[in-house]
Structure 1
Amino acid sequence: MHNKKYHVQKKPFVVPTTDGKLIEEHFGNATDGNSDVSIAHMIAPPKWSEPFQTPEFDEFTYIIKGKKQFIIDDETIILEAGQSIKIEKNTRVQYSNPFDEDCEYLAICLPAFSMDLVNREEK
């Protein structure tokens, strides 16, 4: 009987990027077709940033190492290792790492991250 009630993820889906950022999705649309939640391990290189976006999902971020900057509406927030944040859906936000070291973090999106829901602005 192979009706396991768990799934160990040993081969996360590595999302192709052009900006030097490592994105390993452990669970979510790209990995296992789960649109309810996505969990990704990320490493943002120094001086990395992405455009503003207004996602249609709640996003939780937990900082493992380094620092990450969030611009939420017009407020700038910097989180350090061991800190976390929840940003509610339909909130305009920009993520960046303007610092001199890698930022390693976990991102959890409810419902799961998808390009259809992220609403990223043009640069």
Structure 2
Amino acid sequence: MKGQWGLIIGLFVALLIAIFAVINMDVVTVNYVFGTAEWPLVIVIISSVLMGGILVGGVGLYGIYKIRAELKALKLENDELRKKNAQLNKSNQTSKKGAIPTQTSKKEIPSEPQKNSTENPNG
């Protein structure tokens, strides 16, 4: 079914291009850097559209290539960081198993709860 719709749309576009070509058969003068030439208007329009499409496509492909290279580099960096993280987790687990509990310092011991006062502590 998709192939049939593609064929129908392709034939419709071909018909539109043929009508466009018949309507625009006037000969126009195209000035080049090294001279001039006379071409049918339809050829000038279609070739201009194709060259513009090729330029836009080239710029788009360059952008895609650049993004893919960056993605590849970031994936490699991510893999390295995951390996380091796994090694650190493994060494942390092994050090916890053989570790002797340390005595807590006074800073870590909570102080006695203070009484609620209505006085402003700042003044």
Please state which band the TM-score falls in when normalised by the shorter chain: under 0.3
TM-score normalised by length of structure 1: 0.18
Structure number with bigger Rg: 2
Which has the bigger relative contact order, CA under 8 A and spacing at least 6? 1
Q: More strand by proportion, 1 or 2?
A: 1
Structure with the larger helix share: 2
Query: Normalised by the size of structure 2, how large is the TM-score?
Result: 0.18
